[in-house]
Structure 1
Amino acid sequence: MGQQETVATSLAGTVGQEIGASLASVDAELARRYPGDPGTRQPVHTVYVPADAFTATTLRTWGDRALAALDEHAPDASALAEVLGIPQELAEPVHDRVRAKLEREPVEDLRIDFEDGYGPRPDADEDEAAARAARLVAEAYADGTAAPYMGIRMKCMEAAVRDRGIRTTDVFLTGLMRAGGLPEGLVLTLPKVTYPEQVTAFVRLLEAFEETHGLPAGRLGFEIQIETSQSILAADGTAAVARMIDAARGRATGLHYGTFDYSACVGVSPAYQASDHPAADHAKAVMQVAAAGTGVRVCDGSTNVLPIGPTRQVHDAWRLHHGLTRRALARAYYQGWDMHPGHLPTRYAAVYSFYREGLGQAASRLAAYVAKAGGDVMDEPATAKALSGYLLRGIDCGALDTAEVEALTGLTRADLDGFASPRRGGLTVTAP
């Protein structure tokens, strides 16, 4: 024991109290604007299906078509690994898990599209399609065949289609209420947002619906699609997307990048419109910074190169999609769009290899941090949070098993949740 130190202070206690009082509004503002990650599962992708093509068997059909493509063009683990450049030691576990995923849960997030994929239709036709979508979604959740997340993309808030978008939203939500209520996995997507005022208008629509049906305030959230340059940089030079998050008043759940609308908006020629174009990288970087800490997640766009035709052509499309997906994951865009059943094998192969190849290092670093054992990397609490989030994402999508993560880290699922986010704990899946 060393010499007992004398502790002395010079400031009156009132100084700290005065500082606390002066920052009280800032503390409240930080808590409101930056609550952190919501702690719920984030799907690895969103699948868009035109409203007139959506049926009760759509999810299973996508899974079956994806399995057929896998069997035809990469019938075993070695073939898939060779096409995509997956390390041989990961070939079997990735291939087996991809097959299991396509059999068990081929689609994690489905959006029934009433916008570009559906187009302008007679009002009676769109009314009927919206009512049918509500019925099929309600039935899917009731019989256990639903994707974890399902919902619609309505038409936008621009003058030409505003009334139609409002009515479709009303018909769909009313149909769900009449069928028993809003499912937990319900997601709404507002496309082509240009001004924060359009977000404010959509919030008013949802408020009115909640008031009409006696729902808790804030029950309905929505994603904002970023498809125009004005949503990134406003006329006054500010980042409009940050103002859109604020305008959502806590209801925004995601920012979805629209590859082709945005690319066309800034003048990128069709041959170069892709999610790895510099214009796309800039837009998503702004979205990422604007959303950081708010609890709003950023979603990457899609590729329009479809894996169809002869095997050589399918392999080329697969390599492109796999590469874009891995690129997005490295940049912390953990979700993207898929436009065709043939994209599902490479979506899951990319996601699963991403989590499995990093499992050992992430688990050892987190275990060392918890044990304060040191090691060749000195991690901080923020890194421990990121490591836990990485492992949890892997578990949620089926890339990792809860048991293997616990064996490597000594941490339970609840422990990981606690490290990742105090708000964590929502819709999850049982890993295979």
Structure 2
Amino acid sequence: MGQHEKIATSLPAGAVEAVGASLADVDAELARRYPGDPGTRQPVHTVYVPADVFDADTPRSWGDRALAALDEHAPDAASLARVLGLPDALAGPVHERVRAKLAREPVEDLRVDFEDGYGPRPDDEEDEAAARAARLVHEAYANGTAAPYTGIRMKCLEAAVRDRAIRTLDIFLSGLMAAGGLPGGLVLTLPKVCYAEQVAAMARLAGEFEKAHGLETGRIGFEIQIETSQAVLAADGTATVARMIGAAGGRATGLHYGTFDYSACVGVSAAHQSSDHPAADHAKAVMQVAAAGTGVRVSDGSTNVLPVGPTPQVHEAWRLHYGLTRRALARAYYQGWDMHPGHLPTRYAAVYAFYREGLEQAAARLAAYVAKAGGAVMDEPATAKALSGHLLRGLDCGALDDDEVTGLTGLSRADLEGFRDPGRAG
């Protein structure tokens, strides 16, 4: 102790500087392609509503219908716990928070659908629907009733519907601009993408619209829907989805898995089309790796089994949806699709149970990491980032409260956000 070591070096002068200079382009490319998570809230789901049935009160209507389903089929914590297999310790908090969420903010992300849910219509009819959607979305944001994230899913950019897709997008965005501007929570979805060039075309359209209205470059982003085998694996064996992220020029915000179109594309029979099919797992794993570190989020698909009919039938559909949602969360797919108001109770039950059952362990490990207290698990900075991410996502969706997280960790929300690496995880 106290003895000073003799320090020796051998590299010639300028070697370090030369290596740095040789890697400067790589450094810049890493920073450009892999900026890390944007640090914004990711919704736990996306609700798709056909454009012809979308209305200003759609989020509230879905919430009311979901609450009515709970009242009819699981009116208290014990009954919901029996249906879903919730532990006693979680049953009360989960049931209470689900009800509160359905009353306060039933829909986190809403997409007015002009694609499969809407279908082909006469041009004048779709023109009218697109203009109406713009007006209603603007009004919902103006009066505070909009879902935090709202936008449209246009038709795809394949030749047969390309002009129609572009016109609907233009009418919708132009209507928003005429009404006062693009809302902060605006989200656009480009479906049935097969080639990176289609993504590049969408990015070009967004840039042209920005120029036409004097908007900041990059203001308009969009999600890419992965519904075809060509979107995952190109003819030359490379991962198309990785090229799509690059082709978006920084505008891609999400990759959304399309359960049924993709399943049909690879030949899965209708009876076995599900988000837990091996074909689905493969596609989503490729999407996940391609998106890692880019700031583009990955979303799971949906189930087409609706919780309707007599109580036993509803319970069966709820168990299926709950199980699929929990499975997705464990695989780091923190968002999915919901197709019916009856899916909302189990969406939030699954999400809340996931974050609440992991609360104490995540908080204890993060607190020990901050205090350098050690313990049974030796955590690294990347794990601390994952632990803080778990807590932040729980806070964002309402599964956790600021006071309880701070009480368990000694950390504020700002402290938790400080664990986010603006670059790449090491």
Q: TM-score, normalised by structure 1?
A: 0.97
User: How far did residue 12 of structure 1 move?
Assistant: 2.4
- Alignment of 1:311 with 2:314, yes or no, is no
Equivalent residue number for residue 329 of structure 1: 329
Report SS of the residue matched to 2:151: strand
The whole-number CA distance in structure 1 between the counterparts of 2:97 and 2:412 is: 22
Equivalent residue number for residue 183 of structure 2: 183
Equivalent residue number for residue 385 of structure 2: 385
Equivalent residue number for residue 394 of structure 2: 394
Equivalent residue number for residue 38 of structure 2: 38
For residues 410-429 of structure 1, the aligned pairs below 5 Å read 410-422=410-422
Report SS of the residue matched to 1:419: coil
The whole-number CA distance in structure 1 between the counterparts of 2:392 and 2:327 is: 20
CA deviation map 1:84-135 (0-9, x unaligned): 0111100000000000000000000000000000000011110110000000
Equivalent AA in structure 1 for residue 102 of structure 2: L
Equivalent residue number for residue 27 of structure 2: 27
The whole-number CA distance in structure 2 between the counterparts of 1:260 and 1:206 is: 28
Equivalent residue number for residue 125 of structure 1: 125
Equivalent AA in structure 2 for residue 16 of structure 1: V
Task: Return 5+ residue gaps in structure 1 as ranges.
Answer: 424-432
Equivalent residue number for residue 99 of structure 2: 99
User: How far did residue 407 of structure 1 move?
Assistant: 0.5
The whole-number CA distance in structure 2 between the counterparts of 1:275 and 1:420 is: 30
For residues 148-187 of structure 1, the aligned pairs below 5 Å read 148-187=148-187
Q: Is the CA contact (8 Å cut-off) linking 1:366 and 1:384 kept in structure 2?
A: yes
The whole-number CA distance in structure 2 between the counterparts of 1:293 and 1:56 is: 36
Q: Is the CA contact (8 Å cut-off) linking 2:156 and 2:191 kept in structure 1?
A: yes
Report SS of the residue matched to 1:215: coil
For residues 224-263 of structure 1, the aligned pairs below 5 Å read 224-263=224-263
Report the count of equivalent residues.
Answer: 423
User: How far did residue 422 of structure 1 move?
Assistant: 4.1
User: How far did residue 18 of structure 1 move?
Assistant: 0.6
The whole-number CA distance in structure 2 between the counterparts of 1:209 and 1:138 is: 18
Per mean C-alpha deviation after superposition, the further-off stretch among 106-115 and 413-422 is: 413-422
For residues 248-287 of structure 1, the aligned pairs below 5 Å read 248-287=248-287
Equivalent AA in structure 1 for residue 310 of structure 2: P
The whole-number CA distance in structure 2 between the counterparts of 1:206 and 1:422 is: 26
- Alignment of 1:73 with 2:73, yes or no, is yes
Equivalent residue number for residue 217 of structure 1: 217
The whole-number CA distance in structure 2 between the counterparts of 1:46 and 1:31 is: 30
For residues 76-87 of structure 1, the aligned pairs below 5 Å read 76-87=76-87
The whole-number CA distance in structure 2 between the counterparts of 1:144 and 1:316 is: 35
CA RMSD of aligned residues (A): 0.7
Q: Is the CA contact (8 Å cut-off) linking 1:39 and 1:421 kept in structure 2?
A: no
Q: Is the CA contact (8 Å cut-off) linking 1:54 and 1:112 kept in structure 2?
A: yes
CA deviation map 1:157-187 (0-9, x unaligned): 1000000000000000000001110000000
Report SS of the residue matched to 2:249: coil
Per mean C-alpha deviation after superposition, the further-off stretch among 250-259 and 8-17 is: 8-17
The whole-number CA distance in structure 1 between the counterparts of 2:380 and 2:86 is: 31
Report SS of the residue matched to 2:121: coil
Equivalent AA in structure 1 for residue 9 of structure 2: T
The whole-number CA distance in structure 2 between the counterparts of 1:401 and 1:179 is: 36
Equivalent residue number for residue 17 of structure 2: 17
Equivalent AA in structure 2 for residue 8 of structure 1: A
Report SS of the residue matched to 2:14: helix
User: How far did residue 420 of structure 1 move?
Assistant: 2.6
Equivalent AA in structure 1 for residue 77 of structure 2: A
- Alignment of 1:138 with 2:126, yes or no, is no
The whole-number CA distance in structure 2 between the counterparts of 1:319 and 1:85 is: 9
Q: Is the CA contact (8 Å cut-off) linking 1:38 and 1:421 kept in structure 2?
A: no
Equivalent residue number for residue 430 of structure 1: none
Report SS of the residue matched to 1:111: strand
Q: TM-score, normalised by structure 2?
A: 0.99
The whole-number CA distance in structure 2 between the counterparts of 1:232 and 1:400 is: 36
Equivalent residue number for residue 6 of structure 1: 6
User: How far did residue 6 of structure 1 move?
Assistant: 1.2
Equivalent residue number for residue 50 of structure 1: 50
Report SS of the residue matched to 2:358: helix
The whole-number CA distance in structure 1 between the counterparts of 2:146 and 2:2 is: 66
Equivalent AA in structure 2 for residue 15 of structure 1: A
The whole-number CA distance in structure 2 between the counterparts of 1:206 and 1:275 is: 31
Q: Is the CA contact (8 Å cut-off) linking 2:57 and 2:145 kept in structure 1?
A: no
CA deviation map 1:17-41 (0-9, x unaligned): 1100100000000000000000000
The whole-number CA distance in structure 2 between the counterparts of 1:260 and 1:13 is: 61
The whole-number CA distance in structure 2 between the counterparts of 1:418 and 1:249 is: 27
Equivalent AA in structure 2 for residue 55 of structure 1: D
The whole-number CA distance in structure 2 between the counterparts of 1:343 and 1:73 is: 13
The whole-number CA distance in structure 2 between the counterparts of 1:7 and 1:350 is: 57
User: How far did residue 421 of structure 1 move?
Assistant: 4.2
The whole-number CA distance in structure 1 between the counterparts of 2:273 and 2:298 is: 19
Task: Return 5+ residue gaps in structure 2 as ranges.
Answer: none
The whole-number CA distance in structure 2 between the counterparts of 1:248 and 1:418 is: 28
User: How far did residue 234 of structure 1 move?
Assistant: 0.3
Q: Is the CA contact (8 Å cut-off) linking 1:298 and 1:335 kept in structure 2?
A: yes
Equivalent residue number for residue 375 of structure 1: 375
CA deviation map 1:317-373 (0-9, x unaligned): 000000000000000000000000000000000000000000000000000000000
User: How far did residue 3 of structure 1 move?
Assistant: 1.1
Equivalent AA in structure 1 for residue 326 of structure 2: R
Equivalent AA in structure 2 for residue 221 of structure 1: G
Report SS of the residue matched to 2:332: coil
